[in-house]
Structure 1
Amino acid sequence: MVSIARKNLFHEKGRLVISIGGVAFSTMLIMVLMGVYYGIFTESTMYLRKTNADLWVGQEGIHDTWHTYSLLPRGLDEEIRRVGGVKDVHEFIGRAVRAKVSKVVDKEETIYIIGFDTKTGVGGPWEIVKGKKIPRDGQVIVDRVFATRNGIDIGDKIEVGGVELTVVGISKDTFVLVYSYAFVTKEDAEKIFGAEDFLNYYMVEVDNPFFAEKIADNIKSRLESLGVKVDVLTKQKFIDNHKEVIDESFSAILLPLVFIGFFIGVTVIGLTLYTATLEKMKEYAILKAIGADETFMMRIVLEQAFTIALLGFAAGSILSFLAANLIPNVAPEFYVEINLQNVVMTFGSIVVMSLVAALIPIRRLERIEPATVFQA
């Protein structure tokens, strides 16, 4: 059986190479698209995962930092610290604004300004590729995607909310979907937003994250007893909320493209198998005439399908990893994350692809008559 399947496939090596190439392309398309999808999740929630905050205290009705706006009065940090299990409390001041890029006349970019406590560093950038990690008043740390897009380097200036800021650092992994994070001192953030008596969130560290949800309920109750209505979300819940926004925005775009990749693979494997089957109809008729059953011949077709699929998957996986390393260099706003889940899902798609593609030639073999061998 093995020799027959391989003989049929390798009889036309050029066609086999083209078939493997088609499956490899489908594999790469599926894997890279899924990688971009996972990469968006990773990059867009990186700030929440890297920031040392177990709980986020915001205005009642908060969902995420992008689409819902939170505004709370200052001075609640001491009340929060009185709740059992609370280790420390930090202020978060931030929102998306338009920034003027001085190198480009009349050009504006949307950035997400974050004012953080430069003494503790909580809420600030976690990885710097160039320059300083802690800004002073009048200084800003920008993301490398923002810097690359606008040709910005250390020492250049941007203007936000009428405040001129000098770039002193360039951070990594601080790009979020369509804009980047930019980090300034809390004092500069207050000037830019014009909100000296208010902030957006309180970031809370707890002694034991296992009790985070209980502590969150206690914080909510304590502040509401003071007449301040809040919602308190755990880090994981806040991350999940942001992922939900991403999923709603991108799944409708991603799924049709993945389906296109799947359809290409099915078509390529199906045409290859069907052509190979037609060319060997007399050989199959002889097998049936000497007693080979339909299961035996079906296994031949399936092995051919799986062989093409596995070889294509192997080649496509190599191309996908190469693309994952190349794409960020060409388009730094895209991060391709090829993880185990991505590989397993893609492999599952390829297996299903080969099964679907084998249906037509299998049906053709079921209708073959042994008398075919005597036809001219």
Structure 2
Amino acid sequence: DIWVVSKNVPNFDFTQPFPAYRINRVRALDEVLWAEKIHVWFAFLKLADGRREQAQVIGFNPDTGVGGPWAMAAGAAADVKGGSYIIMDESSRQRLGKLELGSTWELNLFKEQSFKLVGLSREALSFTTIPVVFTSYNEVSQSLMGTDFEGQTSFIVAKLKDPARVAQVAQSLRAALPDNDVFTKQEFINRTVNYWTIQTGMGMAFFLTAILAVLIGGAIVGQTIYAGTIEHLRDYGTLKAMGAQNNDINLVILTQAAVSAVLGFAIGAIVTLAARGGIEGAGVMMQLPPLLFAVVFAIIVATCLGAAHISVRKVKTLDPVMVFRE
């Protein structure tokens, strides 16, 4: 419910250490059910061929599992307890190669240490796509961190007895910990999303790409429908001469646009779902909720209907007398 971090930490990935004893101030509040420390650091893994690959190391308390892997493909989160043991996410195969339980890996944070792979997690992917490695909190503190960071931690997380009081408790902790930032879970999520989508410019790039795709798609659909309208202009004129109303002909044109929208959406959805496996295999998780498909479908339909407006205006001003001029 509550995250305590260093001042001005922008997101979960980029942390700064602070004194771990401050957890006592968190636990001192009556509203707090429990509080745990979590380490998050970037380190280097030494591969069998001698190459080094950057990894995100997460140290958690294996007795509680807080901060550890939430889904396991092999082994259990508690297996890292009591020694130099690590858990890697199965998605890391793309960058690290074969992941065999019992194999030994060298991990270097401030000093190099050998670890035994005892488990494989699922769905633990970093936004930067680098491999995620879990180990015990004590192992990070004792084996990987230098003396300069002794007694330091990256995060303090707390669970409240009454989650409804999260705003009040967060405010109390801000007063008790003036040298830290204190966020509710949702506030920290929003802060992380804001960093990657706005502060890095990545979100604006995706937004502009989507806008460009809509404009180009609309132009292509509009041009196609307009060309078809011009080709059958005499036919539409004949229908108007026979008594057809503008609304009747408009319905024909808009139906063509709607059919184009449905076919385009169907093809795009099929291609997206077919490519999902390969993309996720490369370490990039795709979130495709039904709401996303619904919103995209609505945008495509609106774009196609809007693009057909030029053809509708052309037919609306069509004089049926032109049919009899030739």
Same topology, TM > 0.5: yes
Query: Which of 82, 87, 99 in structure 2 is aligned with 1:153?
Result: 99
Tell me whether 1:198 sits opposite 2:152 in the alignment: yes
1:60 aligns with 2:7: yes
> In 2 relative to 1, CA 164–156 (structure 1 residues): closer, same or farther, beyond 3 Å?
closer
Give the CA deviation at 1:325. 4.2
What displacement does 1:159 show? 2.4
Task: Tell me what 2:136 maps to.
Answer: 185
Distance 1:201 1:263 in 2: 44
Matched residue pairs, number? 314
- Match of 1:75, SS state, is helix
Task: Give the structure 1 partner of residue 72 of structure 2.
Answer: 128
Q: How does 1:23-38 map to 2 (within 5 A)?
A: none
Secondary structure, in 3 states, of the residue corresponding to 2:21? coil
Listed one character per residue, the Cα deviations across residues 161-181 of structure 1 (whole Å, up to 9, x for unaligned) are: 311222222211111122232
Q: Which of these residues, 50, 63, 73, is aligned with residue 119 of structure 1? A: 63
1:209-258 CA deviation, whole Å, 9 max, x = no partner? 1101111222232345xxxx222111111111111122124223312332
Corresponding residue to 2:184 among 220, 223, 234: 234
In 1: Cα distance, 2:52 partner to 2:174 partner: 39
109-118 or 70-79, which deviates more: 70-79
Contact 1:137/1:187, CA 8 A, preserved across alignment: no
Residues 144/253 of structure 1: CA separation in 2 closer, same or farther (3 Å cut): farther
Matches of 2:255 and 2:137 in 1, distance apart? 64
| Letter aligned with residue 132 of structure 2 | Y
Q: 1:210 aligns with which of 139, 164, 168?
A: 164
Residues in 2 aligned to 1:258 and 1:128: alpha-carbon distance in whole angstroms: 36
SS of 1:175's equivalent in the other structure is coil
Give the whole-Å Cα distance in 1 for the aligned partners of 2:47 and 2:267.
46
- 1:53-90: CA deviations, max 9, x gaps? x11112333332233x3322232333322212111111
Superposition misfits of 4+ residues, deviation over 6 angstroms: none
Tell me the amino acid that sits aligned with residue 100 of structure 1.
L
Q: Which amino acid aligns with 2:70?
A: W
Cα offset, 1:132, TM superposition: 4.3
**Does the CA contact (< 8 Å) of 2:95 and 2:131 recur in 1?**
no
Q: What's the offset of the Cα at 1:138?
A: 1.6
Match of 2:231 among 279, 290, 313: 279
Superposition RMSD on alpha carbons, in Å? 2.2
SS of 1:361 mapped into structure 2: helix
User: Is 2:296 the partner of 1:346?
Assistant: yes
CA distance in 2, matches of 1:62, 1:275: 56
Task: Return the offset for 1:204.
Answer: 0.9
Q: Secondary structure at the match of 2:269?
A: helix
Q: For residues 167 and 280 of structure 1, do their structure 2 counterparts lie closer, same or farther at Cα, with a shift above 3 Å needed?
A: same
Q: Is structure 2 residue 306 aligned with structure 1 residue 356?
A: yes
Paired residues for 1:83-98 under 5 Å: 83-97=29-43
Report the 3-state secondary structure (helix = DSSP H, G, I; strand = E; otherwise coil) of the residue aligned with 2:156: strand
Equivalent position to 2:47, from 64, 78, 102: 102
Deviation at 1:334, TM superposition (A): 1.7
Q: Higher RCO, 1 or 2 (CA under 8 Å, sep at least 6)?
A: 1
Deviates more, 1:352-361 or 1:237-246: 352-361
1:264-303 superposed matches below 5 A? 264-303=216-255
What's the secondary structure of 2:176's corresponding residue?
Answer: helix
Output one character per residue of 1:9-54: Cα deviation in whole Å (capped at 9) or x when no partner. xxxxxxxxxxxxxxxxxxxxxxxxxxxxxxxxxxxxxxxxxxxxx1
The CA distance in 1 between the partners of 2:286 and 2:126, in whole Å, is: 14
Q: Could you tell me which runs of 5 or more consecutive residues in structure 1 were left unpaired when the two chains were aligned.
A: 1-53
* Unpaired segments ≥5 residues, structure 2: none
| CA gap 1:366/1:310 in 2 versus in 1, 3 angstroms | same
CA distance in 1 between counterparts of 2:311 and 2:176 reads 70
Structure 2 distance, partners of 1:183, 1:253, is 32
> Are the aligned partners of 2:10 and 2:195 in contact in 1 as well (CA < 8 Å)?
no
Query: TM-score, with normalisation over the residues of structure 1?
Result: 0.77
Identity of aligned residues (%): 24
The 1:336/1:94 distance shift into structure 2, 3 A limit, reads: closer
